[in-house]
A and B are shown apart, each in its own frame.
Chain A
C-alpha cells in the first residue's frame, strides 16, 4: 500500500502540514481521532493526530513538528511522494455534543487536533472559545482556521510577541473567573501544559478533558505500550482514549513514559543528521 502526499507546506518553522490521499480513513474520521503512519519499510510506526479531513476529497491532514528522526525524515518528503503506511482512524472519537460553552486550549502543535474539535463543537451548537498559544508568534499555527471555527479566539505567546504575554492557561483562568458559564474545557498540548492547565481549571465547576499522545506501536489495543493511569486504573490511550478526564490522569507517569526512548531517539537523530550531512539521504 502506498499513500500519496497531495500537498505539503511548512506552516511555522519546522512545523509542517501534509494533505494525504487516504479515502478510507477520511470517510470514517471523526474529531479527536488519530492515525499511525510509517514512512518506509524500515520506518517506525508513529501516531499523529488528525488535523483535518475532507470526506468528499478523501483526504486527511496531518501537522507535525520536526522532533525525532522520523519527523525529520518526514519533513523531507514533498507533494507527489508516497508514504508506505497510513492507518486510521484510531482512538475513540471525542465526545462532542451540545453542552453550551466549551473552552478549547491548544498549545504548540496541540493546536492541530484542537482545530477539528473547534469545528465539531461549533457544528454541534456550542459557543466555542478557543485559546491558542506558542513560544512566539512565528510558531503559532492555524490562527485563521481557529478564528473561523470558533466564536471567540484568544492568543498567548511565551515571549509576548503576539497576544497575551504568558500562557494559554492564564487566559483560560481569566475566562473561568469572569463568571461565564463554561461546561467543558479541553486542553491539548505538551504534557506539562496539560498538567498545569488541568491544575488551574480543577477548582472550577467545569469538566476538563485532555487528549494524550502516548508512545504506541499498533494503535489498536494490541501492544499496551500507551498505557496510562487514569483514576488509579491502567487504560490504553489508543483505544480507551486519547481523550480522558484531566482530573484523573497521572501526568507524572505519562511524562515519564514519554521519556522512555529519549536517549535512543537522540542517538537516532544524530545518526540520521550525520547521514544527511554526508549526502546519503
Chain B
C-alpha cells in the first residue's frame, strides 16, 4: 500500500487529484451535489503535493487567512480532526468555503506549484476535512468566559455568521436577526442544493449556535425594530444584510408571467424547495428557459431550470465568455450539462401571449467596443441584428443591490450612491457609532468568502471597540 501510494503520489505531483463528480448526464436530472468530495486516499495523495512553503503565499490569498500549509500537513499525518481544528481556528464555515469559495482566484492562484503545473487543490482538501468532521460528529466547542457585552448581528448570511462566530468565541453575547424563516442568507435561499447542500448549511449554523449564538428568525430590522433600537439595546451592531434587492432590466414585457428575478426563482427552488413535490411552493416549469446574466447566480439559475425539467436552457449574456464574472468551474459545469451559451447577446424586450404569459425574448447581437470603467470591453449593439428566442420562463440574473429596509427609521448611517453602506475596509466601522458593516451590503454583490473576510475583520474591530467602552 505504501508503495502504491508513493507511485500514485509521484504521478500526481504535477497534476491535482481530480474531484469525483456525478456524471453530467445523470446530475442534470437531479438536485444532488455535483462534486462528491475526496475519499481519504484522494485527500492523502493531494495533501502530499503541498510543499509546506516557509512563507506560504496561499495564506495571503485567503480572505480569512486560514493556516493552509498547517492544516494540509495534518492531513498528510492523517490527523483529520487536528486539521479541521486548525481550519476552524480562523474559518467558522469550512464545509461551505470548501464548496463555494473561488479558490482559483484566491489561495490556489498563489500556490507555488501553480507556476509549473497545477496548484494544490486547497478547497477540495478543506471540504474533505470539514466533511470528515461532520461524519465523525462535530466537536462541541468550548464556550469562553462571558465578556458581559452584547452584540447584535443583522443578517445570517456568510458575513453575519462569521462575525457572530468570532464574536462568540471572544465571549460576547451575540444575537443574530434574520428576516427569513431560515438562517444562512444567500447560502440558504440563493446557492442551489447541487452546489451547496442545505444540510451542510444547517450543520454549520448549528455549530455557531453551539458557540452560544442566539438566532432570531422571522425578525425584520427596519420593521419590528429599527437600527437605532438595536444601538440602544446592544453594545455594538454588525450589519451583514447583503445585497438582496434584485435588479431588473427595465425592458418591455418584464412583468409577464414566467419572468422571474434570479432571487425569486432561486428562493422558490432552494429555500422553499419547489423542486420537491412534497413542498407547497411552486415555480413555473419552463420548456424553454432563458437566463439573462453571466455571473454565478445566472449559472445557478440555468442549471436549476435544467434540473426542473426544461428542454432547453440558454444563458444570454451581453459580453463574451472571457468577460463572464462566473467561476470557470461553474461555466464548465453548465456547459457539460448542456446549457446553451448565447454570448454577445442582449435582450431588448420580452414577448407574451394574450394570457400574459412570456413566450419569447427578443434579443440583439452585441460587439465588444472600448474597455469600460471595470476594465472589461463594453458591449455595443449591432444594428438590425434582432432575433427572438422562444422562452416560457425568463430569469433575470443581472445583479442585486443592498435592501434599503434596514435603513428605515434610523439615522446617521452614510451610504453611497449605489445604496451600499460606507464602511472602513479594515474594520467595517460605519459613520454611526457602534455600528459595523461588512459583506455585500458594503461592497455590492460579491463572493461568500469576501463577505466572511469582512465579517471576520469587523468582529476583531468590534471586540477592540467593546474593550474601549
Across the interface, which residues of B come within 8 angstroms of A280, CB to CB?
none
Across the interface, which residues of A come within 8 angstroms of B219, CB to CB?
24, 87
Say whether B257 contacts A1, CB under 8 Å.
no
Q: Which of B254, B272, B356, B405 contacts A256 (CB 8 A)?
A: B356
> Per-position contact with B for A23-47: 1 when CB-CB < 8 Å, else 0?
0110110000000001000111100
Give, as a whole number of angstroms, the nearest-CB distance from B205 to chain A. Answer: 14
CA gap between A207 and B420 in the complex, in Å:
35
Across the interface, which residues of B come within 8 angstroms of A70, CB to CB?
280
> Per-position contact with A for B250-289: 1 when CB-CB < 8 Å, else 0?
1000110110110110011000110000111110100000
**A220 with B218, Cβ < 8 A, contacts A1-B181, A87-B181, A234-B255 known:** no
Say whether A84 contacts B255, CB under 8 Å.
no
Q: Which of A43, A44, A257, A268 contacts B257 (CB 8 A)?
A: A257
Across the interface, which residues of A come within 8 angstroms of B218, CB to CB?
1, 85-87
CA gap between A53 and B355 in the complex, in Å:
39
Give, as a whole number of angstroms, the nearest-CB distance from A229 to chain B. Answer: 6
Say whether A224 contacts B272, CB under 8 Å.
no
Give, as a whole number of angstroms, the nearest-CB distance from A275 to chain B. Answer: 12
Say whether B279 contacts A42, CB under 8 Å.
yes
Across the interface, which residues of A come within 8 angstroms of B381, CB to CB?
none
Q: Which of B180, B218, B273, B284 has the most CB of A within 10 A?
A: B218
Q: Which of A1, A42, A90, A222 contacts B280 (CB 8 A)?
A: A42
Give, as a whole number of angstroms, the nearest-CB distance from B215 to chain A. Answer: 9
Say whether B261 contacts A224, CB under 8 Å.
yes
CA gap between A103 and B405 in the complex, in Å:
31
Q: Which of A1, A223, A257, A260 contacts B261 (CB 8 A)?
A: A223
Q: Which of B189, B248, B278, B281 contacts A224 (CB 8 A)?
A: B248
Give, as a whole number of angstroms, the nearest-CB distance from A77 to chain B. Answer: 15
Give, as a whole number of angstroms, the nearest-CB distance from B136 to chain A. Answer: 27
Across the interface, which residues of B come within 8 angstroms of A229, CB to CB?
255
Say whether A42 contacts B278, CB under 8 Å.
yes
Say whether A222 contacts B245, CB under 8 Å.
yes
> Per-position contact with A for B229-262: 1 when CB-CB < 8 Å, else 0?
0000000000000001110101000110110110
Is B403 positioned at the interface, with any CB of A under 8 Å from its CB?
A: yes
Is A143 positioned at the interface, with any CB of B under 8 Å from its CB?
A: no
Is A177 positioned at the interface, with any CB of B under 8 Å from its CB?
A: no
Across the interface, which residues of A come within 8 angstroms of B268, CB to CB?
217, 223
Say whether B255 contacts A222, CB under 8 Å.
no
Across the interface, which residues of A come within 8 angstroms of B223, CB to CB?
28, 88-90
> Per-position contact with B for A190-224: 1 when CB-CB < 8 Å, else 0?
00000000000000000000000000011011111
Give, as a whole number of angstroms, the nearest-CB distance from B401 to chain A. Answer: 10
CA gap between A84 and B261 in the complex, in Å:
27
CA gap between A105 and B273 in the complex, in Å:
38
CA gap between A42 and B181 in the complex, in Å:
12
Across the interface, which residues of B come within 8 angstroms of A260, CB to CB?
257-258, 284
CA gap between A42 and B277 in the complex, in Å:
10
Closest A residue to B226 by beta carbon equals: A28
Across the interface, which residues of A come within 8 angstroms of B255, CB to CB?
227-229, 234, 253, 257
Say whether B403 contacts A221, CB under 8 Å.
yes
Is A58 positioned at the interface, with any CB of B under 8 Å from its CB?
A: no
Across the interface, which residues of A come within 8 angstroms of B267, CB to CB?
217-218, 222-223
Across the interface, which residues of A come within 8 angstroms of B445, CB to CB?
none
Give, as a whole number of angstroms, the nearest-CB distance from B375 to chain A. Answer: 30
Is B74 positioned at the interface, with any CB of A under 8 Å from its CB?
A: no
A sample of 23 inter-chain contacts (CB < 8 A) reads A24-B224, A43-B279, A44-B272, A44-B281, A85-B181, A87-B220, A88-B220, A88-B223, A89-B223, A89-B224, A217-B268, A218-B267, A221-B404, A221-B405, A222-B245, A222-B264, A223-B261, A224-B248, A225-B261, A227-B248, A253-B255, A256-B356, A261-B282
| Besides the known contacts A42-B278, A220-B179, A222-B263, 9 further A-B residue pairs in the complex with CB atoms under 8 A apart | A42-B280, A45-B281, A70-B280, A88-B220, A221-B245, A221-B404, A223-B263, A225-B260, A225-B264
List the interface of chain B (C-beta within 8 A of A). Answer: 179-181, 189, 217-220, 223-225, 244-246, 248, 250, 254-255, 257-258, 260-261, 263-264, 267-268, 272-273, 278-282, 284, 355-356, 403-405
